[in-house]
């Protein structure tokens, strides 16, 4: 199944079956991208790639007040991380001079006027609260020459913000509010990230987007459905200016339930220290999903599985995790990691060297050597002081298998310090039935690591609607830390061979990243190295649990 070969996107292509296809992904550089944007990236870059065309990364930077350098950088990195190469990185602001000329053209065609109305007046002209008749203000009657002069006055700083704005002369009889003489330019007292103080006027989205699409010869301008009504003004403006006309089509947004995506809300979580930062693995910004260890290929797989239609898609977090789990299952090696170690001395054991496959079902992944020592560490939860019939792990006189070890062991005694078992003594069971269960273990000398297990950040599936607001809905146990975990030495080879998935060819950027050191900790979870790790201290994040129901 391929989302470009069928359904909505296939129809969009058939409406305009041209070559080469040219698309664009046009983020506003005013925040970090989130999982929803991954869909927009997959749709725009993917559509061009599928049709052998090209896609621009265009920063829609016409709103100087909200833009910051760090967002430009992060957005560029995320596109690359997802495996896409823009044909060029462009900026709407690079077109400020050309856009200005188009605005003068529009005025000369009697398609725009300088208006001095305030909000209340504009509202009244649009029919007001009572949806009364619509009308134009006196400014709409000004002759072209006066509009030109006043517009140049706006450019030259003769007006303060809100004293004047350029308005398109569209069609106020049209039932579509996007045709009710929208703003094209406004005066702003702001310094722009790229153009500094050169401009005192800035074009609006409605003026800029369609013209920049035209300048870049975009064939299919794909955006989300909240722009459906804007399609009419998009087409109106290019037609009026008699410039090349791209085709705008709209697809449904991707919404994830069980989390918050709004910038304002995430900023609150970050500022009030509910999370470690914008890239906290519990968040669904792309930098967070990356840090958590989710491979980019799994995100693309997720978008593709959901498909693209004109309807918004509301998806539960669990569904995303399920795709990630399926993706990791066949692409990452297995290692043994013990979260809460307890020593087991196997009295009759001698040191042996084992050869352990990284993934038994994929022999091509190879194997690694592991020395089994007389003392091994097992999970505290894999031992019981008192045995029972329906229990199949380690207990006094109960045999359990140790993964990859030739003989099962049984416990013969244990010592305690207060309530806590501090050591188990065991012996091999060299005869008898195969044990029902095999548990994971680590030998003496294994590396100590910190493991962070993240659970859902919110209790409710709809934190936005929760009583007392989303902050009142935070799960107090959203982060569990195991600071004395042990990882077997096979980790060193997994680290050396990263990025995993090895075969899927993570993009160049993924290569250096700690999060591309991924593996399945047998019987525990899928894991990846966290960016807080240092040479001396390895910190791991759980990417996803092994089974769906153990994720909370
Ligand atoms: P947000 O308010 O969530 O930041 P936005 O629409 O303001 O979203 P832009 O920076 O304008 O963000 O987004 C760039 C592109 O990504 C746009 O074409 C937009 O339609 C698309 N996009 C944003 N959110 C989603 C989403 N949830 N699903 C699909 N596409 C999205
Ligand atoms: Mg936007
Ligand atoms: Mg935005």
In the annotation, is 282 catalytic?
no
CATH of the domain at 105: 3.90.800.10
Residues 91 and 189 in one domain: no
The interface predicted TM-score of the complex, written ipTM, equals: 0.96
Whether omega for the bond prior to residue 499 falls within 30 degrees of 0, making it cis, is yes
Residues 463 and 404 in one domain: yes
Residues 25 and 101 in one domain: no
Residues 398 and 547 in one domain: yes
Residues 263 and 345 in one domain: yes
Task: Give residue 53's domain range.
Answer: 7-95+208-257
Residues 491 and 427 in one domain: yes
Residue 264, number of CB atoms within 10 A of its CB: 8
Domain count, the chain: 3
User: How crowded is the C-beta side of 309, counted as CA atoms within 13 Å?
Assistant: 7
Residues 328 and 460 in one domain: yes
Which atom number of ligand 1 is nearest to the Cα of residue 39? 29
Is residue 2 a part of any domain in this protein? Answer: no
Whole-structure pTM value: 0.94
Q: Give 295 Cα–ligand 1 centroid separation in angstroms.
A: 21
Chain Cα centroid distance, residue 213: 25
Torsion on CA atoms 380, 552, 450, 506, rounded to nearest 10? 130
Per-residue pLDDT of the chain (552 residues; tens, 9 = 90+): 799 999 999 999 999 999 999 999 999 999 999 999 999 999 999 999 999 999 999 999 999 888 888 999 999 999 999 999 999 999 999 999 999 999 999 999 999 999 999 999 999 999 999 889 999 999 999 999 999 999 999 999 999 999 999 999 999 999 999 999 999 999 999 999 999 999 999 999 999 999 999 999 999 999 999 999 999 999 999 999 999 999 999 999 999 999 999 999 999 999 999 999 999 999 999 999 999 999 999 999 999 999 999 998 999 999 999 999 999 999 999 999 999 999 999 999 999 999 999 999 999 999 999 999 999 999 999 999 999 999 999 999 999 999 999 999 999 999 999 999 999 999 999 998 899 999 999 999 999 999 999 999 999 999 999 999 999 999 999 999 999 999 999 999 999 999 888 755 555 545 668 999 999 999 999 999 999 999 899 999 999 999 987 544
Taking the C-alpha atoms of residue 72 and residue 68, their distance in angstroms, rounded to an integer, is 7
Is residue 1 a part of any domain in this protein? Answer: no
Is residue 309 a part of any domain in this protein? Answer: no
Which atom number of ligand 1 is nearest to the Cα of residue 44? 18
Q: Which of 202, 220, 246 is the last residue of a domain?
A: 202
CATH of the domain at 475: 2.40.240.10
Which atom number of ligand 1 is nearest to the Cα of residue 31? 4
In the annotation, is 102 catalytic?
no
User: How crowded is the C-beta side of 356, counted as CA atoms within 13 Å?
Assistant: 27
In the annotation, is 216 catalytic?
no
Is residue 310 a part of any domain in this protein? Answer: no
Is residue 266 a part of any domain in this protein? Answer: yes
Question: Are 36 and 255 spatial neighbours (Cβ–Cβ below 8 Å)?
Answer: yes
Residues 383 and 417 in one domain: yes
Give the 3-state secondary structure of 316-380.
EHHHHHHHHHHHHHCCCCEECEECCEEEEEECCCCCEEEEEECCCCCHHHCEEEEEECCEEEEEH
Residues 101 and 83 in one domain: no
Is residue 304 a part of any domain in this protein? Answer: no
Is residue 240 a part of any domain in this protein? Answer: yes
CATH of the domain at 19: 3.40.50.620
Residues 327 and 182 in one domain: no
Residues 55 and 101 in one domain: no
Residues 328 and 344 in one domain: yes
User: How crowded is the C-beta side of 311, counted as CA atoms within 13 Å?
Assistant: 6
Is residue 48 a part of any domain in this protein? Answer: yes
Q: Out of 224, 227, 313, give the residue to mutate to test ligand 1, the one with the largest number of ligand atoms within 8 Å of its CB.
A: 224
Q: Give 248 Cα–ligand 2 centroid separation in angstroms.
A: 15
């Amino acid at each position: 199944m391929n989302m470009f070969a069928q359904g909505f996107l296939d129809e969009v292509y058939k409406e305009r079956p041209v070559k080469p296809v040219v698309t664009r992904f046009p983020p506003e550089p005013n925040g970090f991208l989130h999982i929803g944007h991954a869909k927009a990236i997959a749709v725009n870059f993917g559509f061009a790639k599928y049709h052998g065309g090209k896609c621009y990364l265009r920063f829609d930077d016409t709103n100087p007040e909200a833009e910051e350098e760090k967002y430009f950088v992060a957005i560029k990195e995320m596109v690359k991380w997802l495996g896409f190469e823009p044909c060029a990185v462009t900026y709407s602001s690079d077109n400020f001079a050309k856009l200005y000329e188009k605005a003068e053209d529009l005025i000369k065609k009697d398609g725009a006027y300088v208006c001095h109305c305030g909000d209340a007046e504009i509202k009244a002209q649009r029919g007001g609260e009572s949806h009364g008749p619509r009308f134009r203000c006196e400014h709409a009657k000004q002759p072209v020459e006066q509009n030109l002069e006043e517009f140049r006055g706006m450019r030259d700083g003769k007006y303060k913000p809100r004293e004047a704005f350029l308005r398109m002369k569209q069609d106020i009889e049209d039932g579509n509010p996007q045709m009710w003489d929208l703003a094209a330019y406004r005066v702003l007292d702001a310094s722009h990230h790229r153009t500094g103080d050169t401009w005192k006027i800035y074009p609006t989205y409605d003026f800029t987007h369609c013209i920049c699409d035209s300048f870049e010869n975009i064939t299919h301008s794909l955006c989300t459905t909240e722009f459906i009504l804007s399609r009419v003004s998009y087409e109106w403006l290019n037609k009026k200016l008699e410039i090349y006309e791209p085709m705008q089509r709209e697809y449904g947004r991707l919404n994830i339930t069980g989390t918050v995506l709004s910038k304002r809300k995430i900023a609150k979580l970050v500022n009030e220290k509910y999370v470690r930062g914008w890239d906290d693995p519990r968040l669904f910004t792309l930098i967070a999903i990356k840090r958590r260890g989710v491979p980019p290929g799994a995100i693309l797989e997720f978008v593709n599985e959901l498909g693209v239609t004109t309807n918004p898609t509301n998806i539960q977090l669990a569904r995303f995790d399920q795709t990630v789990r399926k993706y990791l299952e066949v692409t990452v090696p297995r290692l043994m990691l013990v979260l809460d170690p307890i020593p087991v001395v196997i009295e009759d054991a001698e040191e042996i060297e084992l050869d352990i496959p990284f993934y038994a079902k994929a022999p091509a992944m190879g194997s690694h050597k592991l020395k089994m020592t007389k003392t091994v560490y097992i999970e505290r939860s894999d031992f019981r002081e008192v045995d029972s019939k329906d229990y199949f792990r380690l207990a006094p006189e109960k045999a359990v298998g140790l993964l990859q070890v030739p003989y099962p062991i049984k416990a013969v005694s244990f010592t305690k310090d207060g309530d806590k078992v501090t050591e188990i003594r065991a012996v091999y069971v060299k005869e008898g039935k195969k044990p029902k269960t095999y548990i994971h273990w680590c030998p003496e000398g294994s590396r100590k690591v910190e493991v962070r297990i993240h659970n859902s950040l919110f209790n409710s599936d709809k934190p936005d609607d929760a009583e007392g607001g989303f902050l009142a809905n935070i799960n107090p146990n959203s982060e569990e830390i195991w600071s004395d975990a042990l990882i077997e030495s096979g980790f060193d080879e997994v680290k050396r061979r990263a990025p995993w998935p090895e075969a899927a060819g993570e993009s160049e950027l993924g290569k250096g990243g700690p999060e591309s050191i991924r593996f399945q900790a047998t019987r525990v979870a899928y894991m990846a190295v966290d960016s807080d790790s240092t040479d001396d201290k390895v910190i791991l994040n759980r990417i996803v649990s092994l089974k769906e129901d153990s994720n909370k």
